[in-house]
Chain A
Amino acid sequence: TQLLEQSPQFLSIQEGENLTVYCNSSSVFSSLQWYRQEPGEGPVLLVTVVTGGEVKKLKRLTFQFGDARKDSSLHITAAQPGDTGLYLCAGVLDSSYKLIFGSGTRLLVRP
Chain B
Amino acid sequence: DTGVSQDPRHKITKRGQNVTFRCDPISEHNRLYWYRQTLGQGPEFLTYFQNEAQLEKSRLLSDRFSAERPKGSFSTLEIQRTEQGDSAMYLCASSLAGQSNVLTFGAGSRLTVL
Q: Which residue of B lies closest to A42 (CB)?
A: B105
Known: A6-B42, A43-B105. 14 other contacts (CB 8 A): A4-B42, A40-B108, A42-B91, A42-B93, A42-B105, A42-B108, A45-B102, A90-B42, A92-B100, A97-B100, A98-B45, A99-B100, A103-B40, A104-B41
Q: Is the CB of B41 within 8 A of A98?
A: no
Question: Interface range on chain B: under 10, 10 to 19, 20 to 34, or 35 or more?
Answer: 20 to 34
Q: Is the CB of B103 within 8 A of A101?
A: no
**Which residues of chain B from 11 to 66 have a CB within 8 Å of any chain A CB?**
31, 33, 35, 40-45, 48, 56
**Which residues of chain B from 47 to 98 have a CB within 8 Å of any chain A CB?**
48, 56, 91, 93
Q: Is the CB of A104 within 8 A of B102?
A: no
A44 within 8 A of B: yes
